[in-house]
């Protein structure tokens, strides 16, 4: 099995607006609502294999909180023959301007 393709969190910005890629948050919707990358979609890891066909030819760029879950998800996709990129360090490592936060807690 080959290594999982990874990028550093600071590199995420080059993928956010590129139509060739789809940035996917593999955390739970409640975590996504609190903080996520602009233009990303939330597909929890446990549903990713079922929904991957729906993204067409886009290459998934996966992130989670710290990188472990997205690495696991990327490995699962790779085992099914898909190319996927995992963000090392996850959203916690991202320090750019495309972070969207919901500071209102219920």
- pLDDT tens-digit map of 45-97: 999 999 998 898 999 999 999 999 999 999 999 999 999 999 999 999 999 99
* Domain presence at residue 17: yes
Judge whether 39 lies within some domain.
Answer: yes
Q: Looking at the DSSP assignment, which residues form a beta bridge with residue 99?
A: 37
- Domain of residue 95, CATH code: 3.40.250.10
pLDDT of residue 106: 46
Q: How far apart are CA 62 and CA 69, in angstroms?
A: 9
* Residue 1 scores a pLDDT above 80: no
Task: Pick the range with the lowest mean pLDDT from 1-10, 35-44, 66-75, 88-97.
Answer: 1-10
- Residue 52 lies in domain: 5-100
Number of domains in the chain: 1
105 is a domain residue: no
Q: What is the pTM of this model?
A: 0.93
The token pair that represents 55 in the structure block:
């993204």
Task: Judge whether 16 and 1 are in contact, CB under 8 Å.
Answer: no
Q: Which phi and psi (to 5°) does residue 78 adopt? A: -60, -40
* Structural domain includes residue 45: yes
């Amino acid at each position: 099995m080959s290594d999982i393709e990874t990028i550093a969190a600071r590199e995420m910005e080059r993928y956010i607006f590129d139509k060739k890629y789809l940035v996917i948050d593999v955390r739970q919707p409640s975590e996504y609502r609190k903080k996520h990358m602009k233009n990303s979609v939330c597909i929890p890891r446990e549903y990713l294999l079922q929904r991957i066909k729906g993204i067409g030819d886009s290459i998934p760029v996966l992130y989670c909180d710290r990188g472990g879950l997205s690495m696991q998800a990327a490995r699962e996709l790779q085992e099914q023959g898909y190319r996927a990129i995992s963000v090392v360090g996850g959203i916690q490592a991202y320090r750019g301007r495309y972070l969207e936060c919901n500071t209102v807690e219920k």
